[in-house]
Amino acid sequence: MAFLHAQIEGKIAVITINRPPANALSQELLLELDEMLTEFSTNDDVRVIVIRGEGKFFCAGADIREFTTIGSQEKAYELARNGQQLMDKIEQYPKPIIASIHGAALGGGLELAMGCHIRLVSENAILGLPELSLGIIPGFAGTQRLPKYVGEQIALEMMITSEPISGTEACQYGLALRAFPEEKLFEETMKLAEKFASKSPASVKAVINLLKYTKTEQFAEGIEQEAKWFSEVFRTEDAKEGIQAFIEKRKPNFVGK
């Protein structure tokens, strides 16, 4: 694997994202993660998965430079649907997946974390969906999962302003389970993972499978519509301007086209 490193500690598989400087989610990285999760799903020695980031960040978002290579609305739709399917695979994974978030979980990074069953954060982490600052929208089910955790008003504020919240606030809003000082985060993550790993795999799998029934029937329709809107917005002039401005590290000039 080029961008992922896995280490098994007892009955816990720790998957580390290692794509410096920001651990951005490239299409290749997403494929690697899909393959690794498939492999661990049939490994009876692994009962819990922990996903974390190497360096300063958990994951600072999707690889925006890859967006410049998407030449059609159809390709944008395909990108969104592929990402949604991976996040859905994570959410429906038969073993608990814990996201251990330090530094930043932004854009696709937060969407990845929201697919996980549990999110533990450092107190000073920042979490957000800043896609509207690029003239696009979240495309990996972020528009559907974020309101589920924080409510519609906070979700709208976070998405439309593109302003992140802290790890401490994420706990207050229900987006994360607990916040710790950064130096204690991984230790505390492993403590929780060990508690999960001590339980009967059959009963844990049953509980996870039952969680899907708490979703509304509209969730599947919601992510389908998200992919359509993502592809619609992606073809606008403002989207092109926002992506280019991000790459050039300048403020975008949105003209409404």
CATH number of the domain enclosing 94: 3.90.226.10
Query: Domain of 104?
Result: 4-183
Residue 28, CB half-sphere, CA atoms under 13 Å: how many?
8
* 65 occurs within a structural domain: yes
* 62 occurs within a structural domain: yes
* 234 occurs within a structural domain: no
* 225 occurs within a structural domain: no
Bridge-partner residues for 195, per DSSP? none
Total number of domains in the chain:
1
* 96 occurs within a structural domain: yes
What residues are annotated to the active site?
A: 111, 131
Instruction: Please list, in sequence order, all residues whose beta carbon lies within 8 angstroms of the beta carbon of residue 103, skipping any fewer than 6 positions away.
Output: 53, 55, 56, 57, 58, 60, 122, 125, 126
CA geometry: angle 82, 65, 68, nearest 5 deg:
80
φ, ψ for residue 165 (rounded to 5)? -115, 165
* 217 occurs within a structural domain: no
Per-residue pLDDT of the chain (257 residues; tens, 9 = 90+): 899 999 999 999 999 999 999 999 999 999 999 999 999 999 999 999 999 999 999 999 999 999 989 888 999 999 999 999 999 999 999 999 999 999 999 999 999 999 999 999 999 999 999 999 999 999 999 999 999 999 999 999 999 999 999 999 999 999 999 999 999 999 999 999 999 999 999 999 999 999 888 887 788 899 999 999 999 999 999 999 999 999 999 999 999 98
* 203 occurs within a structural domain: no
